[in-house]
Chain A
Amino acid sequence: MVVVSLALGQAAEARLDEAAARDAFAVDHPDSVVLSVTVGTDGRAALLQLEDGAVGTVFVLGDRFVTRRLTASLTAGWSAERGLQLHAADPKAPRLLVPLDADVGLQWVSRLAKLGA
């Protein structure tokens, strides 16, 4: 079954750009106003700055998207090899990784630190 699924049924993995990230986030969080979007270098994750000061995320899961409004119970770190690493108290998505260029990534670490402060 897995072979047949791989051969015939495998949907192409989704990819994110700014518009796709905004659209996916708006479906799950229609009350949130998105100010800006930073898409990860691999096109599989995006960070969204929201008007109310909160931060949103959109991640690719297969051919679908998973969105979150991040809460203060989160820690953010930077790894030169892997990018921005988020650890959330969320068993549905405890570890999030967003590959970013270093300057952009470090800006986000600083922004997310304020969120948790």
Chain B
Amino acid sequence: MAAPDLPDLVNLAVPFFIATILLELVWGHFRGTARYETRDTLASLVMGGGNLVEGMVIGLVAVWTYDAVYVVAPLPFGEQAWGWHPLIFIACFVADDLRYYWFHRWSHEIRWFWASHVNHHSSQHYNLSTALRQTWTSNLTGAFLMRVPLVLVGFDPLMVFFSGSINLVYQYWIHTELIGRMPRWFEAVMNTPSHHRVHHATNPRYLDANYAGTFIIWDKLFGTFVPEQPLADRPRYGIVGNLLTFNPLRICFHEWQSMIRDATRRGLTPRQRLGYLFGPPGWSHDNSRRTSAELKAAYVARHPEQAGEPGLS
């Protein structure tokens, strides 16, 4: 069965992104919410543009890889009459969303991937422009290999890419403070602005939580779901040790620079060097820094009455 002519969703969505950011800006101005910082917004837009370019250039490696793997897939669905059936597509989308959950989780738990993903979290603001603050180095980490199993199972690489695009575009609208909570049934199943504000927050209880792309069910299934507590613990956005610059080059490469310097410093054992590359962010051979788990433990030590609450157990 021939693959349908699928649109390039992300590029098609760019005018929508710009229009809604302007809308949020104007709305926020008159409502006194959704604060924008022009240099922060500009940095996010430059990061978003760079991500598109990186995807077109280095992303070709991913395309070639998937095509090569698809050739050896035992049952390439795209070659079957039912290969593009809506049910196959839904299965592909759900499977890719599960893939995204683990990719995203490892992007926070493994410094090698965090070095790339930290870009997206580097703003202290949380508005629609933050959604566009995307990495330029994702393909360099090799994270694209996490889609190989989907292709090997038999999903057409085009379908896998298209599922990823829908996932990415879906996640755009959840980067806002203008929407409080969605209807309960929606909050139960889908990723929402409330769930994703938690993900972008640096409050100890919110660290390393809510990795979902489209469906929040993965976090509930794998024990990483933390609900937002907007009154008791209002999310503070950014990263632990925020950047003191709006320079896109520094936003893009600062963690790579830190990581390489740490891993190549003198006097370390090979295991310690690997710890700096593949350990959790904040890991250090001399315990001079704190990981998310240690930050949570320190918070619980200061607030023992909150021990056991979501995100602090």
Contact = CB atoms under 8 A, between A and B. Distances in A.
B35 A61 contact: no
A2 B38 contact: yes
B250 A1 contact: no
A74 B21 CA distance: 40
Nearest to B236: A27
Interface in B253-300: 253-255, 257-258, 261, 288, 298
Interface in A1-56: 1-2, 4-6, 8-11, 27-28, 30-31
A93 B265 CA distance: 20
A5 B45 CA distance: 12
Contacts of A8: 25-26, 29
A108 interface: no
Nearest to B202: A28
A92 interface: yes
B244 interface: yes
A91 B18 CA distance: 31
A2 B241 contact: no
Given A2-B41, A61-B124, A9 B242 contact: no
- From A5, A27, A59, A64, residue with most partner B Cβ within 10 Å: A5
Contact of B250 (A10, A62, A91): A91
Contacts of B258: 90-92
Interface string A79-111: 000000000011111001000000000000000
**In this complex, which of B41, B242, B250 has the most chain A Cβ atoms within 10 angstroms of its Cβ?**
B242
B124 A9 contact: no
A8 B25 CA distance: 7
B242 A2 contact: no
Contacts of B255: 91
Contacts of B184: none
B214 to A, nearest CB: 27
Contacts of A68: 241
- Secondary structure of the B contact surface, majority rule: helix
Nearest to B302: A30
B37 interface: yes
Contact of B28 (A2, A9, A31): A9
Contacts of A61: 124, 242-246
A113 interface: no
B42 interface: yes
Given A59-B244, A61-B124, A61-B244, A1 B41 contact: yes
A8 B41 CA distance: 13
A71 B40 CA distance: 27
B243 A1 contact: no
Contacts of A71: 288
Nearest to B250: A91
B140 interface: no
B38 A10 contact: yes
A114 to B, nearest CB: 19
Contact of A91 (B28, B240, B257, B298): B257
Contact of B41 (A9, A59, A89): A9
16 contacts: A1-B41, A5-B38, A6-B38, A9-B28, A9-B35, A61-B242, A61-B244, A62-B37, A62-B39, A66-B242, A91-B250, A91-B253, A92-B245, A92-B250, A92-B254, A93-B243
Interface of B: 18, 21-22, 25-26, 28-29, 35-42, 45, 124-125, 236, 238, 240-246, 250, 253-255, 257-258, 261, 288, 298, 302
Given A5-B36, A9-B25, 13 more contacts: A1-B45, A4-B22, A4-B25, A4-B26, A5-B42, A61-B242, A62-B37, A62-B40, A66-B244, A90-B258, A92-B254, A93-B243, A93-B244
